[in-house]
């Protein structure tokens, strides 16, 4: 019985140590979440309004738009940008993003995948770890995995400019981003966003709007589009990384909070078992003492 008590004590000590770690990780994630949440909350309305304006302008200009970013073409080569975290211990956060990316490839680009025309670009390690073990028929771009830890606008916009150049040259016919949309600390959901070509503005009911707006451009149209379109696309790309980072910290904080609660429940059960075993040991020892005393009297 003494051996059993020692094992229970060691397990209680181990669970208490784990609980201290999960509490610390929860506090760290909460601190990081506040900073990441402020960044995405401040940027999102601005970025969404600019995206809508860009879609509206390119949709209304139609074939008159002197930019390739809004012109849809037959998709032979597609690029899927998968934005995930570098570390785990955040529940199903990364798994949900990766599954959304797989579903996108299988449902929207099965023919391109069969012809070897699908490339997956990773920002964050967990996406690459998931895909490299499961898919040998896809092309992987790992040049920007480390960019997730350096989410400054200058760093991320440089990646966006490179991808826009590739699209303009015909290196890719479509670029889509799979990331996590941050709603609050407890809710993040994987999202697919068509980045290029810029999707046309949809009217209510999901139909493409046929309304034409009469825009007045100052300075001239070509100069405006040359500056405006790349700037909005870079900002949109940056937003997806900030969104994912806020979602990661929220998911990890929630996961560590649940882990701490589970550790507390386990400690309660272990302490009850320990007390029961200790009482049994004491009762057994008392029984042996009383039995020995009775034997001596006889």
- Alpha-carbon distance of 276 to 272, in angstroms, equals 6
Position with higher pLDDT, 126 vs 226:
126
CB 120 within 8 A of CB 84: no
pLDDT tens digits, residue range 36-51?
Answer: 999 898 888 888 888 8
17: Cα within 13 Å, side-chain hemisphere: 6
- Alpha-carbon distance of 234 to 170, in angstroms, equals 19
90 is known as an active-site residue: yes
Give the model's confidence band at 2: pLDDT under 50 very low, under 70 low, under 90 confident, else very high. Answer: low
Task: Give me the pLDDT at residue 268, please.
Answer: 93
Catalytic residue among 33, 83, 90, 159: 90
Q: For all residues of the chain together, what is the average pLDDT?
A: 87
Number of neighbouring beta carbons within 10 Å of residue 67: 19
pLDDT tens digits, residue range 236-284?
Answer: 999 999 999 999 999 999 999 999 999 999 999 999 988 888 888 788 7
Give the model's confidence band at 204: pLDDT under 50 very low, under 70 low, under 90 confident, else very high. Answer: very low
Residue 182, beta-bridge partner list: 188
CATH code of the domain occupying 58-251? 3.40.1380.10
Listed by start position, the domains of the chain span 58-251
């Amino acid at each position: 019985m003494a051996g059993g008590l020692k094992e229970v004590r060691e397990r209680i000590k181990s669970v208490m140590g784990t609980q201290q770690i999960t509490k610390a990780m929860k506090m760290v994630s909460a601190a990081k979440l506040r900073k990441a949440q402020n960044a995405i909350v401040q940027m999102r309305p601005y970025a969404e309004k600019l995206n809508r304006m860009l879609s509206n302008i390119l949709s209304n200009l139609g074939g008159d738009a002197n930019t390739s970013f809004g012109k849809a073409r037959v998709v032979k080569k597609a690029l899927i940008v998968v934005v995930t975290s570098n570390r785990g211990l955040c529940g199903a956060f990364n798994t949900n993003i990766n599954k959304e990316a797989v579903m996108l490839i299988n449902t929207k680009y099965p023919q391109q995948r069969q012809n070897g025309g699908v490339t997956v670009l990773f920002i964050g390690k967990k996406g690459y770890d998931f895909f490299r073990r499961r898919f040998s028929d896809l092309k992987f771009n790992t040049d920007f995995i480390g960019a997730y830890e350096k989410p400054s606008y200058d760093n991320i916009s440089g990646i966006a400019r490179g991808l826009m150049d590739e699209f303009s040259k015909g290196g890719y016919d479509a670029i889509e981003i799979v990331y996590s949309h941050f709603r609050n600390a407890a809710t993040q959901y994987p999202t697919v966003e068509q980045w290029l070509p810029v999707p046309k503005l949809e009217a209510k009911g999901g139909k493409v709007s046929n309304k034409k707006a009469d825009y007045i451009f100052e300075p001239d149209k070509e100069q405006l589009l040359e500056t405006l379109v790349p700037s909005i696309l870079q900002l949109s790309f940056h937003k997806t990384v900030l969104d994912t980072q806020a979602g990661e910290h929220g998911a990890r904080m929630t996961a560590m909070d649940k882990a701490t609660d589970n550790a507390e429940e386990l400690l309660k059960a272990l302490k009850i078992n320990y007390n029961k075993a200790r009482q049994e040991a004491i009762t057994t020892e008392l029984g042996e003492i009383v039995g020995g005393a009775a034997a001596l009297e006889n």
